[in-house]
């Protein structure tokens, strides 16, 4: 926003009514920067639509997704676990700087490269105006979100393939360990890129996703400016294909 954010007068309906689903990167970043374990702030739940992508814990088993936990029972009407309640129903996000991408981009979405506003937001009517928003900033967040969703979908797919081939049952702790190792491995390569190079890579990646291609697919060539991310993507592929940690950190449950 170029002016005061509507969040300054937030009454927390979005943090109460929504299930705040997260990508693996969101979970990894929160855990890494807060020092919290995944299980202390995440919940996993069965998808109501089992045709949607989700991770499994046993071959051809129930598909799950992950979200930020809530205070008390995990249900609509209870606030996000990171919500800090102030007086008179006001409050703030306790992890605002490292909040998930779905929160960073609310209430905007990207359509053919254009930033638009959702029409089902909980914010007071007229709280958000495109003319008052920092559209390049929101576009960057939305493009990064798109990239992270694709990377996470790739990780989920490779995990599910491993589970199916192993014929074993796994705990959610094993899945969290897998995510932690995968993102730690990838972050070492990401860290070698300058902010400008990473931004350029995200822009190109998002454009290719919009066109229906993906740098995570082996038959799609990598181009500038993200060809320098080639080593990161290749190392991620190799790490996943060897099940990330062969030393037993991701082990089947007895």
DSSP 180-203: HHHHHHHHHHHTTS-HHHHHHHHH
- Residue 46, token pair as written in the block: 């069965």
Interior/surface letters 84-101, b for 16+ CB within 10 angstroms, e for the rest: eeeeeeebebebeeebbb
150: how many CB neighbours lie within 10 A of its CB?
A: 18
Residues of the chain with pLDDT under 70: 1-5, 8-12, 87-89, 217-254
Q: Does residue 234 contact residue 245 with C-beta atoms inside 8 Å?
A: no
Q: Does residue 201 contact residue 143 with C-beta atoms inside 8 Å?
A: no
Maximum distance among all Cα pairs of the chain, rounded to whole angstroms: 57
Distance CA 32, CA 37 (A): 8
Nearest to 153 by CA among 19, 32, 24: 24
Which residues are CB-neighbours of 126 under 8 A, at least 6 positions away?
none
> Is the pTM value of this prediction over 0.95?
no
Query: Using N-to-C axis directions, what is the helix angle for 24-34 and 172-190, rounded to 10°?
Result: 80
pLDDT at res. 195? 82
What is the sign of the dihedral through the CA atoms of 68, 117, 155 and 56? positive
């Amino acid at each position: 926003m170029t002016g005061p954010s509507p969040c300054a007068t937030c009454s927390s309906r979005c943090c109460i009514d929504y299930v705040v689903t997260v990508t693996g990167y969101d979970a990894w970043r929160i855990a890494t920067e807060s020092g919290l374990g995944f299980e202390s702030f995440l919940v996993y739940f069965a998808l109501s639509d089992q045709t949607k992508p989700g991770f499994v814990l046993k071959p051809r088993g129930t598909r799950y997704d992950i979200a930020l936990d809530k205070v008390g029972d995990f249900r609509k009407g209870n606030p996000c676990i990171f919500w800090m309640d102030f007086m008179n129903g006001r409050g703030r996000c306790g992890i605002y700087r490292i909040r998930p991408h779905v929160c960073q981009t609310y209430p905007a979405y990207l359509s053919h490269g254009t930033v638009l506003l959702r029409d089902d937001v909980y914010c007071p009517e007229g709280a958000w105006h495109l003319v008052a928003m920092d559209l390049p900033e929101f576009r960057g967040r939305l493009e990064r979100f798109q990239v992270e969703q694709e990377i996470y979908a790739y990780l989920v797919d490779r995990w599910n393939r491993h589970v199916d081939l192993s014929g074993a049952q796994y705990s959610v702790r094993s899945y969290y360990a897998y995510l932690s190792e995968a993102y730690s491995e990838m972050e070492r390569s990401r860290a070698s890129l300058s902010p400008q190079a990473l931004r350029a890579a995200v822009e190109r990646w998002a454009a290719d996703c919009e066109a229906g291609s993906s740098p995570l697919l082996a038959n799609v060539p990598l181009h500038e400016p993200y060809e320098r991310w080639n080593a990161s993507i290749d190392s991620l592929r190799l790490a996943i294909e060897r099940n990330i940690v062969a030393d037993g950190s991701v082990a089947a449950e007895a």
